[in-house]
């Protein structure tokens, strides 16, 4: 601070922040420059809603992969949201603070585990269990949903815990003074007050699930077809890009960048919804 002064440090921090924004802008411009012309040339309807993906024959329909991404993401949120919110409630409202200080950072460490490790566990442990007890090939929508549901837990638990901790203690004390039990005060007062933060955590977790690649490649089966059951193999948008970008050329490469445009827009919409949810003031009545 003495070397640069307050104004100098302000300029440095502003430059770092602007460099991050500039990097995001460059990435967005590059993806749209490569993929948007292909979408406009082929037509959004033919690209988004055609069911056949065969680049060798000029077929570039990504509808099966859109449906697969929606199935896998929805399944992941059905697994991750109840577990994540319940874990956050327990850590903040019922768990001793000494235990919370140990358990919460440990859960957040899950975010640092490489996705390939989760994929390996899915292939070696979860897929055989599903194949032997439920049927199907094992590498399926269900396997991918469970693995992704576990992977989004750190995001949901961390943000939801912070949202619950931000609720003033006077809300809890007021509910208890009116005769509510501990659980009733949490259910009827605290959760409603922290609702916007919890919703933001779920939406951000959904963005993580949509954008995950390596684990999905390993456990989803990579069959380019519309799944009709949670036990069917499938391929998501991110997996398709990762699997084929290494050898794609010409229109095939442009189609993969166009798929990236679809993903970019979807994740930006989710992040925008999360920001709007986080900015909403909680209802106190």
For 198-211, what is each residue's pLDDT tens digit? 988 898 888 888 88
Which range marks the domain in which residue 164 is found?
Answer: 63-279
- Would 157 be classed as within a structural domain? yes
Which helix H or strand E contains 59, and what residues bound it?
strand 59-60
Which pLDDT band holds residue 277 (cuts at 50, 70, 90)? Answer: low
Which pLDDT band holds residue 269 (cuts at 50, 70, 90)? Answer: confident
Q: Which two tokens stand for residue 240?
A: 């398709």
- Would 92 be classed as within a structural domain? yes
Q: 3-class DSSP state for residue 9?
A: helix
For 185-237, what is each residue's pLDDT tens digit? 998 899 988 988 898 889 888 888 888 888 999 999 888 888 899 999 999 99
- Would 57 be classed as within a structural domain? no
Query: What is d(CA 285, CA 283) in angstroms, rounded to the nearest whole number?
Result: 6
- Would 232 be classed as within a structural domain? yes
Residue among 138, 145, 149 nearest 221 (CA): 138
User: Does 167 have pLDDT greater than 70?
Assistant: yes
Instruction: Quote the pLDDT of residue 278.
Output: 63
Residues 243-271 have a mean pLDDT of 88
Report the share of the chain in percent with pLDDT over 70: 95
Report the share of the chain in percent with pLDDT over 90: 40
Instruction: Quote the pLDDT of residue 8.
Output: 77
Beta bridge partners of 54: 59
- Would 13 be classed as within a structural domain? no
CATH number at residue 145: 1.10.3720.10
Which pLDDT band holds residue 69 (cuts at 50, 70, 90)? Answer: very high
Query: What is d(CA 132, CA 138) in angstroms, rounded to the nearest whole number?
Result: 8
Q: What is the count of structural domains for the chain?
A: 1
Query: What is d(CA 123, CA 120) in angstroms, rounded to the nearest whole number?
Result: 5
Mean pLDDT of the chain: 88
- Would 116 be classed as within a structural domain? yes
Give the residue, 111 or 278, on which the prediction is more confident.
111
- Would 30 be classed as within a structural domain? no
- Would 71 be classed as within a structural domain? yes
First CA to last CA distance, the chain: 46
Instruction: Quote the pLDDT of residue 2.
Output: 56
User: Does 285 have pLDDT greater than 50?
Assistant: no
User: Does 273 have pLDDT greater than 80?
Assistant: no
Residue matched to tokens 């939801």: 160
Query: What is d(CA 140, CA 151) in angstroms, rounded to the nearest whole number?
Result: 17
Residue matched to tokens 């499938």: 234
Q: CA distances (Å), 100 to each of 91, 106, 148, 193, 258, in order?
A: 6, 10, 24, 21, 44
User: Does 258 have pLDDT greater than 90?
Assistant: yes
For 230, phi then psi, to 5°, come to -70, -10
For 111-133, what is each residue's pLDDT tens digit? 888 889 999 999 999 999 999 99
């Amino acid at each position: 601070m003495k070397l640069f002064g307050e104004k100098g440090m302000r300029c440095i921090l502003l430059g770092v922040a602007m460099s991050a924004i500039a990097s995001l802008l460059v990435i967005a411009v590059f993806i749209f420059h490569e993929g948007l012309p292909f979408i406009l040339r082929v037509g959004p309807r033919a690209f988004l809603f055609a069911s056949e993906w065969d680049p060798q024959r000029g077929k570039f329909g990504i509808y099966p992969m859109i449906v697969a991404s929606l199935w896998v993401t929805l399944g992941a949120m059905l697994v991750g949201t109840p577990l994540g919110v319940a874990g956050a409630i327990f850590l903040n409202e019922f768990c001793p603070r000494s235990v919370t200080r140990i358990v919460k950072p440990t859960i957040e460490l899950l975010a640092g585990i490489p996705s390939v490790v989760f994929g390996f566990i899915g292939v070696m442990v979860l897929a055989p269990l599903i194949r032997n007890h439920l049927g199907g090939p094992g590498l399926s929508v269900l396997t991918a949903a469970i693995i992704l549901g576990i992977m989004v837990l750190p995001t949901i638990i961390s943000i939801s815990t912070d949202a619950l901790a931000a609720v003033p203690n006077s809300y809890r004390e007021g509910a208890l003074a009116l005769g509510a039990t501990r659980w009733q005060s949490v259910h009827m007062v605290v959760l409603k007050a922290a609702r916007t933060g919890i919703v933001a955590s779920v939406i951000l977790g959904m963005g993580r699930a949509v954008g995950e690649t390596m684990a999905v490649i390993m456990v989803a089966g990579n069959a380019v077809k519309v799944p009709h059951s949670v036990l069917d193999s499938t391929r998501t948008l991110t997996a398709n890009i990762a699997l084929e970008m290494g050898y794609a050329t010409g229109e095939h490469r442009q189609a993969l960048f166009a798929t990236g445009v679809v993903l970019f827009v979807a994740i930006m919409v989710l992040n925008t919804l999360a920001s709007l949810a986080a900015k909403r003031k909680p209802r106190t009545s």
